[in-house]
Amino acid sequence: MKGLILVGGYGTRLRPLTLTQPKPLVEFANRPMILHQIEALANAGVTDIVLAVNYRPEVMVETLQKYEKEYGVSITFSVETEPLGTAGPLKLAEKILKKDNSPFFVLNSDVICEYPFKELADFHNAHGGKGTIVATKVDEPSKYGVIVHDIQTPNLIDRFVEKPVEFVGNRINAGLYILNPEVIDLIEMKPTSIEKETFPILVEQKSLYSFDLEGFWMDVGQPKDFLAGTVLYLSSVAKKNEEKLAKGSNIVGNVIVDPSAKISPSAKIGPNVTIGPNCVIGDGARIERSVILANSTVKEHSLVKSTIVGWNSTVGRWCRLEGVTVLGDDVEIKDEIYINGGKVLPHKCISTNVPQEAIIM
């Protein structure tokens, strides 16, 4: 089988992290975001993976060659000279995706979930349509484009309603699909939206179905959602792979800690924290609902809450970071500094308080 991952471009929503590292290689729960998806595709029997990119593919080549060997897959870059939307990349990768008659998976690189690819393929093959969208249920469907089903045929999509004022359903497109190769014939080689241009044709042909996603789902393409997705992911790990979670008298709730990290026994970690390789957490530090990326230090008695600490960064003593603060690569926060919702660009030193949301350049 085959799979295409829509990686896209600059990852501007996740800056300042993506100023240093391409978005697919930013670690989510201590593993590059793209690796979660490659592993899930490989486990479902996918042998050919296409990454649709239009920015910095050369930076990813070495890492992805390693994954090719590890997971026994072939990974190809499909490089766009101009952004082609969500359907154009399928046309660009037509040669690989249509090399045989088997269906192929398409997924958005920002989506984190339990990736039920095997079940999705079985469901798709059973209903005989040309396409299947993975659907997730949401509490506030008025913010999204909602899937409305046919009354007679289970799971057959009748139409989409964009940001409905009245309740018509609570299932939305989760950004994962399985499609037959013939769907590519409906796409022109130009910037095209699969949601707005290709799917409506399949709906008219009564050949597009939806598959309900079980478990958690989150688009983690921006810091607020990256942290919320981490909470959901850790909760899922607690249910299915509890042995991966850190244990100890100073650990509260669901926490993942790389074995190389050094944490003071008097620090309090959690809930909902991931701590990357070679990090150092000092005496009396308090970390909750945060992500600490590799080679970073949080010194004594600092509070880090709802924050992403970028690689190689240092948080001084008696600091307080909160409110979806994001530190880029190699940032230094001096002692006794308060930051609330600040986005600090790489290689900066902060010696004054940032009491409200701001980009520090």
DSSP string, 266-300: T-EE-SSEEE-TT-EE-TT-EEESEEE-TT-EE-T
Residue 239, SS3 per DSSP: helix
Half-sphere exposure of 243 (CA within 13 A, CB side): 0
Is residue 163 part of the annotated active site? The answer reads: yes
- Residues contacting 310, CB < 8 A, separation 6+: 16, 17, 20, 293, 296, 326, 327, 328, 329, 330, 331, 346
- Residues contacting 352, CB < 8 A, separation 6+: 337
* 154 burial via Cβ count (<10 Å: 0-12, 13-18, 19+): exposed
Say how far apart CA 103 and CA 130 lie, in whole Å: 9
Catalytic option among 163, 190, 244, 262: 163
Residue 182, SS3 per DSSP: helix
Say how far apart CA 8 and CA 58 lie, in whole Å: 14
DSSP state of 85: B
Structure tokens at 110: 């920002």
Structure tokens at 312: 């190689």
Structure tokens at 77: 């870059």
CA distances from 341 to 95, 232, 318, 336, 359 (A): 45, 21, 18, 16, 9
**Residues labelled catalytic:** 163
